[in-house]
Amino acid sequence: MALVKLKFEARGAIAVLRLENPPVNSLGHEMRQALVDGVERANAEPGIEAIVLIGGGAGFSGGADIREFGTPKAAAAPNLLAVLREIEASPKPVIAAIEGVCMGGGLELALACHYRVAVPGARVALPEVKLGLLPGAGGTQRLPRLLGVEPALNMIVSGAVVASEKLRDSPLFDAFAEGDLLEAAIGFAGRVVAERLGPRRVRDLAIVMPNAEAYFQFARNTVKAVAGPYPAPLACVDAVAAAVGKPFEAGLKRERELFTRLMTSPESAALRHVFQAERAAAHILDVPKDLAVRPIQKIGVIGAGTMGGGITMSFINAGLPVVLLEMKQDALDRGLAAIRRNYQGALRKGALTETTLAQRLALITPTLDFELLRDRDLIVEAVFENMNVKREVFGKLDAVARPGAILASNTSALNLNAIADFTQRPQDVIGLHFFSPANVMRLLEVVRGAKTAHDVLAGAMRLAKTIGKVAVVSGVCDGFIGNRMLARYRAAANDLLMAGALPQQIDAALQEFGMAMGPFRVGDLAGLDIGWASRKRRAAEFPDRDFSDVADELCEAGRFGQKTGAGWYRYEPGSRQPIPDPQVTAIIEEYRRRKGVTVREVGAQEIVERCIYALINEGARIIEDGTAQRASDIDLVYLNGYGFPAYRGGPMFYADQTGLGDIARALRRIAAVPGTDTAFWTPAPLLVRLAQQGKTFNEPKGSP
């Protein structure tokens, strides 16, 4: 194959091979072939005495081509191992010139070269562990030989990105240049030739480690303690141990075995799914990728309460100036004080300096005056969840905001289309549904109103990236994607409570499944009084319907959750540790008796099945009615906003892994139980259709 992605240039006796494969010079099949051809050609040309490998654009190389994942191209010959073998075997010395990104397979490529020259600012990493894998092209064998076992193992197990300056004096780099990288690398290559240093192969370096056994035992224990359900970190330790204990080729073989095992593990499949899902989410199906978006630099936030404060922090953390508006001075002062308080933890941990904090806080202009919002590009409203208040605020905004400004609401449950219609410019209105605490939670539901303009939507998605959020587009419906599903999950948990399970049993089963916290613990954390108040409001609104809930009884007994030291559990003063409480059991039993329900034995498997399948069934409806663009978006919502375990890839991916046919059958079985809400449990039409066709929610190429 022609050298399609590799530029060959002779600079005197030095051949310069430049990787040209934007954006990150990934090592897809064509590039791999081109590398083999390029090195072969340089070796064949008599005038050439050394070879410099350098990357154009973003840097050296970002490693494997993710677009090839799961396709035959990923393994097509020559695979990366074979390419690296060729390069390492080159009789003419090969010098890697490293700048920008040098990660994964990119770093493995550099390690197979005979020398490495770098500049400051390069980002070096073996991040495979973050995808549930390990470096599978010799990284676990070569890095310890060069860098030393302990620092290499730390990099491989953590996947952390290390700045090249930090490795400046390490054996990883043979030279460190401050100026032009290519010139430095050619100069270095010239010296290698002049001094007849020849190829120096990392594989030939010996590892001497007298206390290896004890060290690896210690490493395994440490890693096991933090790896949780993921097999990859321990496999990384095993692979590095093989580098120490075995000859190079045998070590490579061990690395390959471990890599193959991880590649077929469900945990890695889930993590790779999440990785791809995050990239897919940014793409809005009916909006061209290159659409010009409205620039967003100056922000306004209305309301300095729980959400407004966190939202303001998200923007100033990214360096964006915020005008923060409140109704009254004391609310503004309270809001600003809360923001300062929220930074204290980071200050104490040394993650933030006083100077940086001062710079960030200086980006906030506090005000009571709507006039100051006049020049803002985006204004986010986070006032009370009340339609009349929203009407008043959006009316004022309409009068004051400049034409083209984006007007956003953080509403959780109100109709965004109605809010948009409070203005004369509904096309400029969008929902930005942040999650609490907004400065911490990565999820942002970008709510698309019926009239929201394309460039507003695309602009919001771009902004989300700037402030480090995982943004998912949601249509307008009750609860948007996340809370609409959560309502089903909670209802399922409540049914189980009525059927005979206790809060601690339900929480334990779901936590065992991997949820960060069971629903009753979450309830205690959020406060049970919010739901109680809302049920009372709805009962007044619809007097003929029954909104009563066992949680009402808890609230009537003063049990509002953690903040009152008691809710579904009791809490010792100052502790967040939930303790099952016989008083709660008594309240639940009494409530069941009054409602005349027959109590039965409920097992952990049934708990997980009902709660998780309720999520999946609603997710299917959400895809079908177009509220979500794709199944993987739903997964992102649940992973980043609701504590779903990443190693299960999100509810829809979990459904795919479980088998849609099995799930549909289980749902039908539940729906047929007398007394259950049949409409709720009947499998969604999309789920049934996909199951019949033997398909999945997340099809390998594109989603339904």
- So which residues are the catalytic ones? 108, 128
Q: Work out the end-to-end distance of the chain between its first and last CA atoms, rounded to an integer number of angstroms.
A: 36
Q: Is 322 in the site for ligand NAD (CB under 6 A)?
A: no
Of the candidates 297, 344, 436, 678, which one interacts with ligand NAD according to CB under 6 A?
Answer: 436
CB-wise, 15 or 339, nearer to ligand NAD?
A: 339
User: 162, exposed or middle or buried, with CB in 10 Å at 0-12, 13-18, 19+?
Assistant: buried
Among 54, 379, 382, 522, binds ligand NAD (CB under 6 A): 382
Among 107, 302, 463, 510, binds ligand NAD (CB under 6 A): 302
Of 322, 325, 443, 481, the residue at the interface with ligand NAD (CB under 6 A) is 325
Separation of alpha carbons 381 and 75, rounded Å: 50
233 sits near ligand NAD (criterion: CB under 6 A): no
Q: Can you point out the beta strands (E) in 68-157?
A: 94-98, 101-103, 115-118, 123-125
d(Cα 126, Cα 114) in Å, to the nearest integer?
A: 19
Q: In whole angstroms, what is the distance from residue 458 CA to residue 295 CA?
A: 10
Sign of CA dihedral 647, 651, 653, 659: positive
* Nearer to ligand NAD (CB atom), residue 382 or residue 667: 382
Our finding on whether 482 is near ligand NAD (CB under 6 A) is no
232 versus 373: smaller Cβ distance to ligand NAD: 373
Tell me the window of 187-195, 259-267, 384-392, 597-605 that interacts with ligand NAD (CB under 6 A). 384-392
In the bound complex, what is the minimum distance in angstroms from residue 561's beta carbon to ligand NAD?
Answer: 14
154 is a site residue for ligand NAD (CB under 6 A) = no
Residue 223 or 382 with smaller CB distance to ligand NAD = 382
The whole-angstrom separation of Cα 649 and Cα 277 is 10
Regarding 385 and contact with ligand NAD (CB under 6 A), the answer is yes
Q: Does 344 bind ligand NAD (CB under 6 A)?
A: no
CA angle centred on 147, ends 142 and 152, rounded to 5°: 75
Q: Determine if 308 is a binding residue for ligand NAD (CB under 6 A).
A: yes
Residue 398 sits in the site that holds ligand NAD (CB under 6 A): no
Q: Which of 552, 487, 542, 481 is nearest to 519 (CA)?
A: 487
Relative to beta strand 364-367, strand 322-325 is parallel
Residues whose CB falls within 8 Å of the CB of residue 689, separated by 6 or more in sequence, listed in order = none
When CB distances to ligand NAD are compared, the closest residue is 305
Position among 326, 507, 529, 581 found at the interface with ligand NAD (CB under 6 A): 326
> Smallest gap, in angstroms, from Cβ of residue 482 to ligand NAD?
10
Is there binding between residue 240 and ligand NAD (CB under 6 A)?
no
- How far, in Å, CA of 42 to CA of 603, rounded? 67
Identify the residue among 327, 361, 525, 557 touching ligand NAD (CB under 6 A).
Answer: 327
Q: Does 251 bind ligand NAD (CB under 6 A)?
A: no
Name the residue nearer to ligand NAD (CB basis): 244 or 528: 528
DSSP classification of residue 88? H
CB 51 within 8 A of CB 95: yes
Residue 104 to residues 176, 394, 603, 691, Cα–Cα distance (Å): 21, 49, 44, 37
Bridge partners of residue 366, in order along the sequence: 324
How many residues of this chain bind ligand NAD (CB under 6 A)?
24
Tokens at 669, concatenated: 């079985």
The owner of tokens 């973050």 is 130
Judge whether 559 and 528 are in contact, CB under 8 Å.
Answer: yes
Q: 315: how many CB neighbours lie within 10 A of its CB?
A: 27
The answer to whether 384 contacts ligand NAD (rule: CB under 6 A) is yes
Region near ligand NAD per CB under 6 A, out of 16-24, 305-313, 544-552, 689-697: 305-313
Residue 303 or 518: which CB sits closer to ligand NAD?
303
Residue 411 near ligand NAD by CB under 6 A: yes
**Cβ closest to ligand NAD, residue 311 vs residue 652:** 311
Integer CA distances (angstroms), 26 to 56, 61, 77, 103, 104, in order: 11, 6, 16, 10, 10
CA distance 698 to 701: 8
Please identify, among the stretches 149-157, 234-242, 409-417, 689-697, the one whose residues bind ligand NAD according to the rule CB under 6 A.
409-417
Interface residue with ligand NAD among 50, 124, 277, 383 (CB under 6 A) is 383
Binding mask 634-673 for ligand NAD (x = CB under 6 A): ----------------------------------------
Query: Which residues, at least 6 apart from 264, have a Cβ–Cβ distance to it below 8 Å?
Result: none
Binding mask 278-297 for ligand NAD (x = CB under 6 A): --------------------
Q: Which is nearer to ligand NAD, 323 or 393 (CB)?
A: 393
Binding flag, residue 329, ligand NAD (CB under 6 A): no
- Minimum CB separation of residue 526 from ligand NAD in Å reads 7
The runs of H, that is alpha helices, within 148-291 are 149-158, 181-194, 212-227, 232-245, 248-263, 266-281
SS3 417: helix
Binding of ligand NAD by 483 (CB under 6 A) = no
CA–CA separation, 428 vs 416, rounded Å? Answer: 12
| Helix 266-281 × helix 631-641 angle, to 10° | 100
CB of 425 to ligand NAD, least distance (A): 19
Q: Which of 342, 402, 415 is nearest to 371 (CA)?
A: 402
For 472, phi then psi, to 5°, come to -130, 130
81 vs 389, beta carbon nearer ligand NAD: 389
Q: Which stretch binds ligand NAD (CB under 6 A): 73-81, 268-276, 407-415, 652-660?
A: 407-415
The yes or no reply on residue 393 touching ligand NAD (CB under 6 A) is yes
Assigned token pair, 338: 């809360």
Q: Which is nearer to ligand NAD, 31 or 302 (CB)?
A: 302
| Residue type, position 563, single letter | K
Measure the CA–CA gap between 381 and 373, rounded to whole angstroms: 12
Would you state the structure tokens that stand for residue 2, as one six-digit string? 């022609």
| The one segment of 45-53, 280-288, 377-385, 491-499 that binds ligand NAD by CB under 6 A | 377-385
d(C-alpha 20, C-alpha 1), whole Å: 16
Specify the residue for token string 């009084």. Answer: 529
Phi, psi of 287, deg, nearest 5: -115, 125
Minimum separation from the CB atom of position 335 to ligand NAD (A): 6
Closest distance of CB 366 from ligand NAD, Å: 12
User: Of the candidates 79, 170, 356, 412, which one interacts with ligand NAD according to CB under 6 A?
Assistant: 412
Whose Cβ is closer to ligand NAD: residue 291's or residue 368's? 368
Least distance (Å) between residue 297 CB and ligand NAD: 23
CB nearer ligand NAD, residue 331 or residue 597? 331
307 binds ligand NAD (CB under 6 A): yes
Query: Residue 160: what are its φ and ψ, rounded to 5°?
Result: -65, 150
Binding segment toward ligand NAD, per CB under 6 A, in 24-32, 322-330, 507-515, 572-580: 322-330
**Rounded Cα distance, 355 and 353, in Å:** 5
- Which value, in Å, is the radius of gyration of the alpha carbons in the chain? 29
Does position 380 interact with ligand NAD (CB under 6 A)? The reply is: no
The binder of ligand NAD chosen from 303, 475, 519, 567 (CB under 6 A): 303
Q: Which stretch, 18-26, 49-57, 159-167, 387-395, contacts ligand NAD (CB under 6 A)?
A: 387-395
Binding stretches for ligand NAD (CB under 6 A):
302-308, 325-327, 331, 382-385, 389, 392-393, 410-412, 434-436
